[in-house]
Amino acid sequence: MPRISAATIGEHRAQTQEKILEAIARLARRQGIDAISMTELAAEAGITRTVLYNYFPDKTALLLAFTERVTHYFVESYARDLPADASPSVRLRAFVRLQLTGLVAHPHPGAADLSATLGPDAYQRLAAHVAPMQAILREIIQTGVDSGEFRTSDVEAAARAVLAVLGSERIPLTEGGRTPEEAEEFVSAFCLRALGTADA
């Protein structure tokens, strides 16, 4: 029977799962999540491959859990760091900053690459994990439209466009071609101008 490092088996499992997810975050920063093997991950987490497979039977399950963790971190950070009375422009800039910060801290493949890696069923589950983040962006834009600060006739399309511009910074950021500060200023200014605000 494996050694239990917590008061209960449930706590031990939670600690081990967190250790695995922290290990994949470290490896992702060094080499990108798509290049990580299960053998490398087990070694980084300080566990055996058998233990790793007990928690995550394949890389798809691992990617889904990792994405859920990153999304939860983003939603918590956004709620904690942003004043409740902030304007839509300020909130959009905060959304952009936290997205780019997360991209640097937890590098991961783009949507097209993930779709090819995971397959359609798993990709749909992945989309469900990131839905709360997308809902925040739609709410920011809708609030801006309602207040007259933003001008767009299609909030859904505008949200997709913002996410596409954010995605375009993935390679420049991860390869060192642009600093997070430069990317934040470019994406924020571009999106605010596209939404028709003078605060760009």
pLDDT at 45: 93
Q: Indicate left, alpha or beta for 148 from its phi (over 0: left) and psi (-120 to 50: alpha).
A: left
Whether 23 contacts 2, CB under 8 Å: no
With a CB cutoff of 8 Å and minimum separation 6, the contacts of 14 are: 6
Query: For the residues 50-61, what does the mean pLDDT come to?
Result: 90
CATH no., domain 1-57: 1.10.10.60
Could you say which DSSP state residue 175 is in? T
124-154 pLDDT, tens digit each: 666 666 778 888 999 999 999 999 999 999 9
Whether 197 contacts 114, CB under 8 Å: no
80-131 pLDDT, tens digit each: 877 778 999 999 999 999 888 877 776 665 555 555 556 666 656 666 667 7
In the chain, the percentage of residues whose pLDDT exceeds 70 is 81
Please tell me the class of the 58-194 domain: mainly alpha
Residues counted in the chain? 200
Delimit the domains of the chain by residue range.
Answer: 1-57, 58-194
pTM comes to 0.72
